[in-house]
Structure formats: C-alpha cells, structure tokens
C-alpha cells in the first residue's frame, strides 16, 4: 500500500540520517574484497583446544593479525546458508518462512555487489555446488553478481561431502581471481564443513580422545572438519600473501550459521559449558568475524555486531556511502545502537539478551542482563524489542511489496 511505501521510505531516511563514517572509513578504497563465508563455522572453536591442540590455528593467527569481532552473531532462519548470503548482500532479514532466495529471487535489491559493480568492480561468487540450489542462479543477477562459478566450473578434485573439497575450491578460485580485472568482489561460499561433517580418515588430524562415543560423533566430526577447513583457509591466505595480493585486497571471513547441534548434544554442551538457555543461546548464535584490511593494525572489538551489519560496514571501509542505500544494518562501530536481532524477535545488545517466547520458558520471552546472565523483568528489554520488531516488519514489507521498485528515488 501507499502507506507502507512511505512508512518504509521514512524509516530508511531516518536510519540513514543516523549514519556516520566508521573509524576505517575509506581504508580499503579501490581495493579488491574477498568475502569468505565459511560453512557452519562457529565461535566456540576459535582460540580453543582439544587435547592440547589448537582447533583453528590459522584463523587464530588471522585474528591476531586483523580486526576481530568475537561478539558477532548469525541471523539465519530456514534458508540457512542462503540466508547468510542474503544478509551479507542486502542487509535485510531472512524471511520467517521459506527463504528469501526462493521466494523473492526476482525482486529488486539495493545490494552490496550491485553497488560495487557500479563503482567498477568485477563481482563474482565461487561455490562448487549446483547453480540451482537455493535458487542462486536466479537471484545472483538481481544482486549484481556478474559471474557465478558453480559446480561445473571447477576442475575435478576429491569430493568431500557435497562437493569438491575446500582446499581445491580455494586454490581454483584464487587461480581465477589472479586473472580477473581489478578491483573485484569475490564471495567464496565454502562447503566441506557441512553437516554431518564426515571427513576421510586421513584428513582427521585432531586427537579427539574423550569424544569417542557414538552420540559424540557429530561433535567429533565437526572438530575434525573445521580443523581441516581452517588448514585450507591458512593455505589460501598464505598463497594470497605470496602473490602480493594482500597488499590491495581486503578479506572478510565469517561463519554462516550454527552447526545444528542442539542443547541435547551432550558433547557440545560438555565442550562449551553452555548448559542453561542463556548460555546456549549466546553460544549457538555466535560466529566469528575477522576483517583484514591492507595496512591496518590488528585490533579486537567487543561490541555486538551481526551479519545484517556487513553490507554497510564493508561498503564504508571500501569508500562507499552506506547512507545512500537501503540497508537495515548499522555500522559495526556505531556502538550506542549495537543490536543483533534474530528472526523470531530475540535479540542481543551490548547489555541485554532477549530470548523470544519460542524457548517455552515464559510466553513473553526472557530478558537477561547479558554480562551476568541474570534474569530481569521483560520491561527491561522493551525498547530494543520494539526496535527489532520494527526492523523485521520493514524488511518483510520490502520483500513482500518489492518496495524498492516503488520508492521515489529522486532527491
């Protein structure tokens, strides 16, 4: 309706009026960007050990050398990997039912790849699976992707799980990037660490003693699989460095979504200690984010940030202007307003955690003081809850009405 259109336009105008450049604004202007979206990579393996061995030594090194957000959260829903892509590309929320990639593939989007394309970037995605899966081949042109390297575009290599292994994926993607006109935007979507995380015996390099039981198998396999992917990422980054590409290429690495291990996965709970609903919620939604910007000193940022914030934050670092677009997310350094809102209305701010009623504990949801995990009255969570609900509503309206096409884009 006309009301919906103008309400959404006003909402974006207000959000955009609030935007200010972040501390790394323009730091990677004109550089290439590689976004490495890692299948099922969760935060709890980062800087963690099993039987005295680092699970992710290469990511840990990249964290020490880059900008690291330990309080970064994934917001995917039923669209899983495609939702993480959608959040990155559009800074809109996934849909509550089905998936945006399937339901709204032909909408118009104000998407990060399209914005970079306009700035002269070659835009591409590397993912070694069927192009029709998650409808990618339909939606990518709408998002401004010039070229999608899918299953048939890769040379033969050992298949692990669903596709050629990540080491081969990364090696072949890099060979392709070397021949590309610069600057480029390359989104690599890895796949080896997909559920049920089974790896060939010879690639199970970790000693997972203590997790030998039949019911521990998913957890044990997950550690092996993530350890392997970490090694593949390490080789990829070393190769980028050797080729001198890190001098003018920004890297963003993050986990797409949780592993699917629930609070019933005893080994997962034993390892993480995330026993009660509050700890489990935080642990389950937490994925790492690492940014590596040429010439920028390492640093760690403890504010809450989320996948929704990727597009505005990355665009700002690349020298673009997020306030000229329709992103719901915020700059990750806009810390007064840090909030990760989830599809069911739950959220995490720097101070509060709100778990919506779906947890079955309280039909009004549960509001916690985040630093201590202390349960508060739900009123304490009211303001961010209302703000988060509004964002979800705006996002849904945008998708259902394909509103972008209806906005008056004249100044």
Residues that bind ligand GP9 (CB under 6 A): 80-81, 127, 129, 133-134, 191, 194
Q: Which is nearer to ligand GP9, 94 or 183 (CB)?
A: 94
Alpha helices in 19-90, H assignment, sequence order = 57-65, 80-90
Tell me the HSE value of 164 on the side-chain side, using a 13 A CA sphere: 20
Q: Which is nearer to ligand GP9, 26 or 141 (CB)?
A: 141
Catalytic residue among 76, 81, 265, 341: 81
Which long-range CB contacts under 8 A does 374-381 form with residues at least 24 apart?
Answer: 376/352, 378/354, 380/352, 381/347, 381/352, 381/354
Q: Least distance from C-beta 164 to ligand GP9, angstroms?
A: 12
Secondary element (H or E) of residue 38? strand 32-38
User: Between 2-18 and 382-401, two packed helices, what is the crossing angle to 10 degrees?
Assistant: 130
Catalytic-residue membership of 81 = yes
DSSP 8-state secondary structure symbol assigned to residue 52: T
Q: Least distance from C-beta 238 to ligand GP9, angstroms?
A: 26
Q: Least distance from C-beta 277 to ligand GP9, angstroms?
A: 24
Q: Which is nearer to ligand GP9, 129 or 347 (CB)?
A: 129
Contact criterion met (CB below 8 Å) for 306 and 38: no
* C-alpha separations of 2 from 7, 9, 210, 326, 408 in Å: 8, 11, 61, 18, 12
Q: 105 — phi, psi (to 5°)?
A: -65, -25
Q: Least distance from C-beta 143 to ligand GP9, angstroms?
A: 15
Which long-range CB contacts under 8 A does 364-372 form with residues at least 24 apart?
Answer: 366/277, 366/278, 368/278
Q: Least distance from C-beta 287 to ligand GP9, angstroms?
A: 13
Q: Which is nearer to ligand GP9, 19 or 218 (CB)?
A: 218
Contact criterion met (CB below 8 Å) for 136 and 101: yes
Q: Which is nearer to ligand GP9, 194 or 370 (CB)?
A: 194
Q: Report, as residue numbers or ranges, the catalytic residues.
A: 81
């Amino acid at each position: 309706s006309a009301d919906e259109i103008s309400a959404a336009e006003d909402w974006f105008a207000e959000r955009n009026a609030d935007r200010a450049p972040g501390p790394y604004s323009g730091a990677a202007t004109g550089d290439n960007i590689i976004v490495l979206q890692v299948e099922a990579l969760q935060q709890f393996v980062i800087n963690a050990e099993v039987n005295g061995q680092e699970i992710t030594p290469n990511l840990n090194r990249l964290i020490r050398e880059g900008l690291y957000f330990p309080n970064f959260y994934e917001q995917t829903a039923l669209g899983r990997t495609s939702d993480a892509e959608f959040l990155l590309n559009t800074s809109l929320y996934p849909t509550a039912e089905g998936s945006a990639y399937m339901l709204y593939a032909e909408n118009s989007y104000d998407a990060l790849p399209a914005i970079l394309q306009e700035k002269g970037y070659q835009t591409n995605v590397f993912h070694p699976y069927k192009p029709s899966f998650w409808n990618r081949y339909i939606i990518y042109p709408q998002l401004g992707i010039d070229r999608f390297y899918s299953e048939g575009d890769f040379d033969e290599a050992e298949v692990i799980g669903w596709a050629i292994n990540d080491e081969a994926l990364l090696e072949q993607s890099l060979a392709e990037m070397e021949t590309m006109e610069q600057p480029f935007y390359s989104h690599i979507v890895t796949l080896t660490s997909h559920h049920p995380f089974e790896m060939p015996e010879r690639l199970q390099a970790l000693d997972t003693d203590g997790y030998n039981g039949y019911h521990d198998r998913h957890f044990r396999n997950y550690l092996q699989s993530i350890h392997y992917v970490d090694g593949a990422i390490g080789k990829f980054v070393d190769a980028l460095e050797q080729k001198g590409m890190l001098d003018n290429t920004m890297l963003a690495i993050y986990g797409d979504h949780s592993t699917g291990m629930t609070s019933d996965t005893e080994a997962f709970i034993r390892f993480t200690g995330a026993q009660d609903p509050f700890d489990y919620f935080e642990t389950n939604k937490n994925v790492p984010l690492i940014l590596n910007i040429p010439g920028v000193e390492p640093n760690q940022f403890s504010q809450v940030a989320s996948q929704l914030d990727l597009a505005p934050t990355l665009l700002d670092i690349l020298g673009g202007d997020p306030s000229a677009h329709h992103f719901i997310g915020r700059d990750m350094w806009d810390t007064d307003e840090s909030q990760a809102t989830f599809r069911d209305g739950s959220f995490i701010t720097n101070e509060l955690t709100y778990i919506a009623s779906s947890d079955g504990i309280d039909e009004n949801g549960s509001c916690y003081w985040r630093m201590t995990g202390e349960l508060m009255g739900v009123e304490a969570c009211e303001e961010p809850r209302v703000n988060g609900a509004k964002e979800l509503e705006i996002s849904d309206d945008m998708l259902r009405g394909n509103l972008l096409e209806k906005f008056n884009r004249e100044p």
